[in-house]
A and B are shown apart, each in its own frame.
Chain A
């Protein structure tokens, strides 16, 4: 075997080569990372915006897949009108559906940013705002977005403030409520059951279903991380612990460590042992099939799922309106309801390095104008809708012809939301839920609180894991106190203490 003479020398040379490579890498890197462009002023002396080019980036939206022919987000009849009416040369881009926060990071880090951007997720928004990524909006709002006051209350805007400064405008959500107790009407009729109105009645109903039909009385899907809380929220709400926090003696406390939560778990444990709750609820990813085939009689489900289930039953030869929501039953102390859902989780921001901040604010204001709002809510008059007696009339076909129009929304309105739901046939299900009592979550109105917001996912995951074990009997409920101290030691105590500093001074 031949070897190169002078192995020692080679090693030394190799080392210096590594060094050289590193140096080259660092130099190239340093050249690449220096990027501090700031846009010149695009505003005339009177405050009129002269830079008419605005680049927008929004979150992924299923509407993107629904364009027909050669239309796309930057080329269609509504876009053309938006461009014409506003006078802005607008260009839309979208974030990917997955890994959106990574894409946001690379865009902000590169300095090559859009003028207006959607940031999904409250904690991402506040983390980035803390790092100075966004332009403070108070002045821009005052100068360019007079229409904002008609949309948001002071309380709603305050929830987006960091140390008193507004960095983002919430993307308003029109949906008020998400989940409710859905029942299989056929099963109820067959057994002659009345809708349960109290906890005891609910227990009896479940018991009857189990004994007389031997199907799963109550099912739930709690396999995916984060899904446990919603899967039983109307039941925990009967004990007043359906929300993340409860108010006690003028202070907030985590619901999950209250004695009432223990009682809730005891009840669930009892129901589980008696076979009233799906023995597979912890592994279920989806319970639609069980509701469709009537192997389960009740479940806590989202309003869109209710319609999907109903349609599927009809599609298989059953009758429509086979499932319906019941009013949430009332607990021993008169508590009931479902958690309120309407708060924004996305924010519209203007990045610090944006080239046309004024234009972005001005365009945002333009979208709030009544004429524009009608355009993106219903489309073009006499083409996508007609006006009769001063009221907009739009057929479902007309609405479904332009399902992508909400792409241009920076916030959702009740008018639009109801119109869209009506056109798709979801409204009957959603309206049933709307009548339910909604429990307000105070912390949703809080500004960013570090110890609380950064820990909440970890804490609620910990609670979900242990709650499932308590219910299934894998952890004994006599250990509830130990669970409470573990929870507090994990940062629960600190989180709620800091939250209360805001709450008590409010």
Chain B
């Protein structure tokens, strides 16, 4: 590939800029990691920056010793895996017909779906529906009521729309059914996009806690984020006066360790999906 001088300079600049940017984004993470491995005294004095002071593993020991941590971790992994699979299935199935331009009513269905992005009944009626469908205090209450995100649906539909018509038509002439066309043309052609959306779902499931607070009372089914929020969230000054029985104030180092434990597993997802980030798979097959 021939490159002009300007382009080479641009490459240098680009690498430098992105390196700086990445550095600025990784430093806070390192800061938290350093805190989690330090002694409380140095953290409270704000003397820990990017290297632990008074090295100790005790805060990790505290977090990981909690048996609830393992229950919650398992719950969250289940949510992220099973929830994402179900969500992807329902969203892909819906996105395909909605992306077809010649099918009637699609616009109407889109309006119906988009409305739900703006208007909701609020927590009380939603809670009643979740209860009436028998999901309370079950891990399914964290999956089924949020099964499909309109946002993700719109994105997948958008990607499906950009698949060239020629491919679909040639398959249809071969007598392929709609389902077959979806499976053998649309899905393989949109792999990077679908992998991205799957990650959006997985992250969404991993990070959600509000529904868990409403629908789960049994601690056995609490997801990780809810457990960690209990450990992390601070008593406000108002709450301190309100404390009915004396509570221990969570140490800063334990907070940092909890944050790490919550974030690191989901961070590992992205490098994994990058495998599917391959330029224009199979698109060479499109002629014309």
Interface string of A1-19 (1 = CB under 8 A from B): 1111000001000100110
Measured in the bound complex, the distance between the Cα atoms of B236 and A178 in whole Å is: 13
In the assembled complex, the CB of B81 is this many whole angstroms from the nearest CB of chain A, namely 25
Closest to B66 in A: A65
Contacts A110-B131, A316-B41; A96 near B67 (Cβ below 8 A): no
Task: List the B side residues contacting A293 at CB < 8 Å.
Answer: 45-47
A-B contact pairs, 5 of them (CB 8 A): A61-B245, A288-B44, A289-B46, A316-B42, A316-B47
Query: Which one of B39, B124, B246 has the highest number of Cβ atoms from chain A below 10 Å of its Cβ?
Result: B246
State which of B9-17, B99-107, B171-179, B259-267 sits at the interface with chain A: B99-107
A309 to B41, CA, bound (A): 8
Contact of B128 among A33, A69, A120 (CB under 8 A): A33
Taking a contact as CB atoms closer than 8 A, the residue among A29, A63, A424 that contacts B125 in the complex is: A29
Cβ-based interface call for A60 (8 A): yes
> Do B39 and A64 touch (CB < 8 A)?
no
Q: Mark A484-500, 1 if CB is under 8 A from B, else 0.
A: 00000000000000000
Within 8 Å of chain B (Cβ to Cβ): is A224?
Answer: yes
Do residues B45 and A72 form an inter-chain contact, with CB atoms below 8 A? no
Report yes or no: B230 in contact with A65, Cβ–Cβ below 8 A: yes
B231 at the A interface (CB under 8 A)? yes
Do B123 and A106 have beta carbons less than 8 Å apart?
A: yes
Say whether A439 faces chain B, with CB atoms less than 8 Å apart: no
The residues in B between 51 and 92 inclusive whose CB is less than 8 angstroms from any CB of A are 54, 66-68
B230: which A residues are within 8 A, CB to CB? 60, 64-65, 96-97
Shortest beta-carbon distance from A429 to chain B in Å: 13
Interface-facing stretch out of B24-32, B139-147, B212-220: B212-220
A421 & B213 in contact (Cβ 8 Å cutoff): no
Assign chain B's interface to a size class: 35 or more
Q: Nearest Cβ in chain B — how far from A354, in angstroms?
A: 16
Do residues A224 and B236 form an inter-chain contact, with CB atoms below 8 A?
yes
Q: Is the CB of B45 within 8 A of A316?
A: yes
**Is residue B250 contacting chain A, with contact meaning CB distance below 8 A?**
yes
A421/B67 in contact, CB under 8 A? no
Taking CB atoms, residues of chain A closer than 8 Å to B248 are 62, 403, 424
Q: How far is A62 from B255 in the complex, measured between Cα atoms in Å?
A: 14
A70 proximal to B (CB < 8 A): yes
In the complex, the answer to whether A97 meets B233 with C-beta atoms within 8 Å is yes
Known: A32-B132, A109-B124, A312-B44. A14 touches B102 (CB 8 A): no
Q: Which of A61, A227, A406 contacts B237 (CB 8 A)?
A: A227
Q: How many residues of A contact B (CB 8 A)?
A: 79
9 new A-B contacts at CB < 8 Å, known A103-B214, A289-B46, A412-B244: A4-B104, A10-B104, A18-B112, A33-B128, A65-B68, A118-B244, A178-B241, A412-B246, A417-B246
Instruction: Quote the shortest CB–CB distance from A391 to chain B (angstroms).
Output: 22
Confirm or deny: A296 has a beta carbon within 8 angstroms of a beta carbon on chain B.
no
> A88-108: contact bitstring with B at CB < 8 Å (1 yes, 0 no)?
000001101111001101100
Q: Which residues of B contact A4 (CB under 8 A)?
A: 102-104
Q: Which residues of A have CB within 8 Å of B46?
A: 289, 293
> Given A2-B102, A64-B219, A341-B241, are A112 and B226 also a contact pair (CB < 8 Å)?
no
- Which residues of the partner chain B approach A403 to less than 8 Å between Cβ atoms? 248
**Distance between Cα atoms of A94 and B46 in the complex (Å):** 34
Q: Does B269 contact A (CB under 8 A)?
A: no
